Amino acid sequence: MTEPVAAGPVLLTGASGTLGRLLAERLTREGRTLVLTDLIEPDYELPAGVRFMVADLADREAVLRLGNDYAAIVHFGAVSTERDFADIFGPNIAGAHHIFDLARASKARVIFASSNHAIGFNRRDVRLDEDCDLRPDGYYGLSKAYGELLARLYWDKHGLESLSLRIGSCVERPTELRHLSTWLSFDDLVRLVEAGLTHPALGCRIAWGVSANSRAWWVSNDEIGTAARDDAERFAGAVVAGAAEADPVSSRYQGGTFCASGYDREEFSPQELFGWRGTGQAMPSRTVE
């Protein structure tokens, strides 16, 4: 059984972002040795005993220079909005590959910041568990789906432990109706990351990065998901009653406006992914030689 991660060095990527700053502050409270990295230097004062190293995640050599003596890597470094594929590829796809290779060299577990946009083209009237189909709603979501599959590959082939957190809407408080289902409080984010860092036998897991919202679309079967405690419902009165996204695509699918971006179908995307599922027919059998 793998021992829980305690005082071993932890590398935090994306440390200059909003969530990186929060994690840098909160993770050091547990007495961890923390190393921060990002493409740009943080605009906040580093916690005592924490050091920062500049690195472009798309640059393999720059990532290797970060060292390989980590007990865990909390990987939050990425382009965090929808962009052209060329803008996504370097930091999100090549970068994830470089980080997982670094984790393999370090024999470190990875806490990977995935996203609800990896499954965004599921309808809002469908409740999902962690084993649902990947249905990315853009190139950003596609990069997060890639990261989840990369985590599975490195577990099956190399035994590398990881937790992919499918983060919903991690903001200070909900500001729109969708957030009442997708909100992840800052406190719950820290609780989920801590659960991944300290679990005695992490294996390869996916957990919803969402608070314990009464209106949640996502059902947690994994014990790590139960670390979340907050509920967006207490903010419901402050969200405009009856408000909805401006277009029918955004309001139909769980990914919201990410689904509507560049959408040019003349009809809604069907829920069924494969034709044989919609016919009621069993999948054709195949002979394996």
Per DSSP, 238 falls in state G
Q: With beta carbons less than 8 A apart as the criterion, state whether 166 and 158 touch.
A: no
Q: How far apart are CA 267 and CA 206, in angstroms?
A: 32
Q: How far apart are CA 78 and CA 73, in angstroms?
A: 14
Per DSSP, 184 falls in state -
Handedness of CA 80, 81, 86, 87 (dihedral sign): negative
Side chain identity at residue 234, one-letter code: R
As given in the structure block, the two tokens for residue 189 are 């984010």
User: Of the residues 70, 140, 146, 154, which is catalytic?
Assistant: 140
| Radius of gyration of the chain from its Cα atoms, rounded to whole angstroms | 19
Closest CA to 207 of 233, 186, 179, 228: 228
3-state secondary structure of 162: strand
Distances (CA, A) of 47 to 10, 31, 33, 78, 90: 14, 11, 11, 22, 29
Active site residue 44: no
191 φ/ψ sector (left φ>0, alpha ψ -120 to 50, else beta)? alpha
Positions marked active-site: 140
